[in-house]
């Protein structure tokens, strides 16, 4: 792929409600001028709903299922279980809000990032009908919080955000020269180094490569931000990010705050669309890139 347009969506657990709002606004106006999309963790889940052209699906998954104690349960975690049950969330979402897979798999290609447990590097899978459930579980399998280790296609994986939280460099490597990035943190954000690396070594002693990757995560994350802020001269990067007042944290469960975060996403998308396409062009362009 050369000179392609890519959409990159960061994860961030419940902070992904912002991307849900952005992508629903895109759906409302039929905006999808991209050649491929890359998602990580909640970002990949959001992209599934977007590419299946099912508005509000991701919003409902977050506000109705991810807030359920079957998914997020600190008491269960203290007793040795999962803090978050990714498998339950995915399967229950499929039951309550069935995916339009025909639309999903005839839309632009979707790439998802996962972290290889053995190498601690990012692996990238093109999502298809045979690997959809495995890939979405793996890309969202937060270390420690989700004690299971998803394995498929000869490898075992954990959350893609460990190795590549914002796969904008991967999008460039695959030929994208016009990249839209939806972040889950304000543009001013920079990740700080881990405060207690020795504790992480102890907790992840069965997976030392992942513990090491967690120590390096801030450097990798900030390298992606540096690329976004100063991309190569042959590449344009467009950013949609939450405002500084964004009220949603990684494990925010209060619906009023989630609704506020979703609305901020929709508002940010509106601003993005207005800035990207001048008002004189709004009525003369088809959102898929063709002149009317």
Distance in angstroms between the alpha carbons of the first and the last residue of the chain: 27
Given the residues 140, 159, 184, 224, select the one marked as catalytic. 159
Kindly name the residue from 41, 58, 140, 224 that is annotated as catalytic: 41
How far apart CA 157 and CA 116 sit, in angstroms, is: 5
Cα 292 from Cα 289, distance rounded (Å)? 9
Q: Does residue 28 have an active-site annotation?
A: no
Q: Are 49 and 23 in contact (CB under 8 A)?
A: yes
41 is catalytic: yes
Q: How far apart are CA 84 and CA 73, in angstroms?
A: 7
Strands 36-40 and 236-240: unpaired
- Active-site residue list: 41, 159
């Amino acid at each position: 792929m050369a000179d392609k347009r890519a959409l990159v969506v960061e994860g961030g657990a419940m902070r992904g409600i912002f991307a849900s709002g952005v992508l629903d606004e895109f759906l409302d106006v039929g905006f999808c001028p991209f050649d491929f999309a890359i998602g990580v963790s909640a970002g990949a889940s959001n992209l599934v709903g977007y590419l299946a052209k099912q508005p509000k699906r991701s919003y409902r998954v977050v506000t109705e299922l991810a807030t359920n104690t079957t998914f997020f349960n600190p008491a269960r975690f203290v007793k040795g279980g999962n803090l978050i049950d990714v498998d339950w969330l995915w399967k229950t979402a499929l039951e309550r809000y069935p995916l339009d897979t025909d639309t999903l798999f005839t839309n632009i290609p979707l790439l998802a990032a996962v972290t290889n447990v053995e190498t601690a590097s990012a692996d990238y899978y093109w999502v298809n009908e045979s690997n959809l459930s495995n890939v979405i579980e793996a890309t969202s399998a937060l270390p420690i919080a989700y004690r299971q280790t998803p394995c498929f296609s000869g490898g075992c994986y954990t959350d893609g955000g460990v190795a590549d939280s914002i796969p904008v460099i991967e999008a460039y490597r695959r030929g994208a020269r016009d990249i839209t990035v939806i972040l889950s943190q304000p543009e001013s954000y920079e990740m700080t180094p881990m405060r207690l690396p020795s504790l992480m070594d102890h907790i992840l002693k069965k997976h030392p490569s992942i513990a090491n990757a967690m120590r390096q995560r801030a450097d990798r994350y900030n390298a992606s931000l540096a690329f976004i802020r100063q991309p190569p001269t042959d590449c344009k990067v467009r950013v949609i990010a939450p405002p500084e007042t964004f009220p949603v944290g990684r494990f925010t469960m209060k619906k009023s705050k989630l609704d506020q975060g979703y609305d901020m996403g929709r508002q940010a998308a509106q601003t993005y669309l207005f800035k990207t396409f001048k008002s004189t062009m709004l009525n003369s362009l088809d959102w898929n890139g063709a002149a009317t």
